[in-house]
Amino acid sequence: MSVVAVAFNDSVPGRAALARAVLEAERDGRELVVLHVVEELSADSREHADFNTRRAVVAAGGDENNVRVLIGAQGPDPAGALIDQAIQADADMLVVGGRHRSAVGKLLMGSTVQRVLLDAPMPVLLVKAD
């Protein structure tokens, strides 16, 4: 079965990406896998992230029982962690949310989304939040 993976965090771009991934998965009959990277990977943080992610899937119009949630530790490389999760999920497409950043912001802080766009081995759909 084909897999649509989505990088999710509880932000405007993260929710926009999740809503689009739900649509993509349902439209094509693909499995939806939500990738959630957390700073600390304890049992409590994993349970909390899973619960909140499933609630967000329902808010985006999806079925919380028809989704796979992968939770991983961010570590020093969030882009690499997301790409590793997408590969682990056997994703055919990775959906990510983005926001406009100034040139100075990009220069000083880099861009996780830009790294994912350039380094992911599967097609990446960038969703801009309203």
- Judge whether residue 109 has pLDDT over 50: no
Q: How do residues 59-103 score in pLDDT, each as one tens digit? A: 999 988 889 998 887 778 888 989 999 999 999 999 999 876 656
Q: pTM of the prediction?
A: 0.87
* 104: alpha, beta or left? (left if phi > 0; alpha if psi -120 to 50): alpha
Strand-pairing partners, residue 125, are: 95
Residue-range domains of the chain with CATH = 3-128 (3.40.50.620)
Helix (H, G, I), strand (E, B) or coil at 92: coil
Average pLDDT over residues 14-23: 94
